[in-house]
Structure 1
Amino acid sequence: MANAQQPAWIEAHRAGCLKWRGAPPGMPAELADEFMTNLKAGSTIRKLTSGMKEFGPSLVSYSRFKKHCELHPEWAAEAWRISKINGDFGKGHNRIKTHCKFGHPFATYQRLNFDKGSVIRKCNMCHFLRYKEGGRVKPEIMVKVKAELERGATISSLTASGKPTRLLAHHAFKRARRENPEIDILAAKVIEGSRSRALRTRWTRVHNEIRREQNNDYYMIRALLPVSFPDKDDVVGAIFEDLLTGALKRENVRARVKSYVAAHNKLFPTKYAKFGESPLLSLDEAIFEDGTSTRGDNVSRGLWD
């Protein structure tokens, strides 16, 4: 019962081991004749000894073949000679081709690919047509795609290469949309939601960029004012007000800064205007902090009396 549950490849491996148990080194005479017959029929040593999936089960292991060659050097020389001829047969026939198998000229659509150390010519037009048509989607993959779309997953998460959530290529997804109306409806809903999110993100970025430019303008204008100027924010505010109303253009700010400073000094002369070496004092200023008497109350005569 336990043996019946073993995978087929384990059973085949066990049978192969039992076949050669107790056998002398090398190959039996009848197996060597069969090996040589296959070589003369067009096979190669690699095909008969590798056991690769593309070549089918091996006739004998390479180690036994090598040991047989040591025991029978003449047979080995003949086997290697035939195998080399068979292996070289057909090599280079693709080099003289001028068109792919679908008739597209290599002179226009050729593309060189490196595959397993070899240079292979590919046809760009065939690749384009295959991509345009799209690959077929297996039913089980289609079920997973539908479930992910219903969950609200983005299309890029299903088709972008390198992502762990990738289920299929984008061209295959496009073909699935064309052939399956239900998938197309779900994809359209996902795209509409993505477009709304993209618009919100776009306007947020635009708003942030405007705010960033305004902040940069603020510090730029402050840098244009004299270092010792105390009321920089008042002048910056006046400049911003004219910028918003259109009375001042952005490119004229640097040339007009001095005029704004002069206008501010004229508006508040008691802070900046001087009479001799002393600053001017306002007659409306209170003499004492805890009193209501002003300097104007004590004036007994005019300046030119």
Structure 2
Amino acid sequence: MRPTHSKPIDADKAQRFLSGLREGKTLHVLCSGKVNGKRVSSEIIATHIRFREYCAEHPDFARQANALLAENMKAANARRGEFKRSQTHCKFGHPLSGDNLLIEGRTKFRRCRVCMARRAAAPRPPSEDQIQRATAVLNAGQTISRICWGVINGKKVADRIMSHPKLTLLRQRDPEFDRLVSLSRPRVRRQPTKILLRRNNIITPEMAEYNQIANLVPYQLPRDVRDDVIQSIFLAIIEGSLQRDQVHAHVRQFIRDHYREANRLGVGKYGLVSLDAPIFADGNMTRGDTIVRGLWD
């Protein structure tokens, strides 16, 4: 035989539902008589399924009930955590205010610093079940991140087995477990030490003059060309054929002279050209075919 509250809702039960909702009760209390898993009322009108069925069959009732439910749920959500918010002392009597109060950044939980320091200094020993689970995790090749935070490769995969202070206490008391933890540490391949050559921070007058002249030569030039141009400018300054205040006006001339001399020697920007190389990409004529006079003519 089904319980009485599982039977379909009649007009009397519907009125009891509305009366309970007007008193500020939530649907969970009216259908189960429980709040946060604790029974607070022995009166159970009907199940959630029966309530939804009755709302589907009676739109006027559903309109009134849903409006009251929305208000009651809003008030119930506002009451959540009220006990914790109004708590002025921890369960050991320490004040939750001033320097003794710690508010966690992510969860905003309030913590007692005195209790935290006491637990860190003298943690409770882990249970046998925790020790067995931690040993199984280490034997599986995982690290203490899985034991203390439930993290594997940076991802949360499970709840923690024990806190880090408990793990430290266990390692101090059990040398064999400590050896197992040491063997489970990931082996980090260290990179070979690189010798970093740092520039001398002392700027000499010669270095300052070099930088000043080098900054006048365009940076878009090939590195070897730019170095040769800078060298030619310095040589001209040393020989006295160029004044320092005339460098800016003659930079382009030094670049043209460099390319002219390089092309004369066959090592310019076009490089050394083979006589057997085609003149045009779409033809077979080579540079050697254009020679009309031999070397010994």
Q: Which of the five TM-score ranges fits, normalised by the shorter chain?
A: 0.3 to 0.5
TM-score, normalised relative to structure 1: 0.37
Between Structure 1 and Structure 2, which shows a larger proportion of helix residues?
1
TM-score normalised by structure 2 residue count: 0.37
